[in-house]
Amino acid sequence: MCEDVREWLQKPVLTGWKMVAEYLNVHEQTAMKWGKKHGLPFAKIDGQILTTKNAVQVWILENIKNNDIEPGQDESE
Range of the domain at 59: 3-65
Q: Is the pLDDT of residue 77 over 60?
A: no
- The CATH number that applies at residue 52 is 1.10.1660
Q: At what angle do helices 53-65 and 17-24 cross, to 10 degrees?
A: 50
Is residue 76 included in any domain, yes or no?
A: no
Q: Considering the chain, what percentage of its residues have pLDDT values greater than 70?
A: 71
Question: pLDDT tens for residues 38-55?
Answer: 899 999 999 999 999 999
Q: What pLDDT is stored for residue 1 in this prediction?
A: 47
Count how many domains the chain has: 1
Question: pLDDT tens for residues 18-33?
Answer: 999 999 999 999 999 9
Is residue 71 included in any domain, yes or no?
A: no
CB 20 within 8 A of CB 49: yes
Residue 63: which pLDDT band, with cuts at 50, 70 and 90? confident
Report the 3 state secondary structure along 42-64: CEEECCEEEEEHHHHHHHHHHHH
Is residue 55 included in any domain, yes or no?
A: yes
Is residue 73 included in any domain, yes or no?
A: no
Per DSSP, the three-state class of 13 is strand
Is residue 43 included in any domain, yes or no?
A: yes
Is residue 21 included in any domain, yes or no?
A: yes
Is residue 26 included in any domain, yes or no?
A: yes
Per DSSP, the three-state class of 40 is coil
Distances (CA, A) of 17 to 5, 7, 46, 53, 73: 21, 22, 14, 13, 17
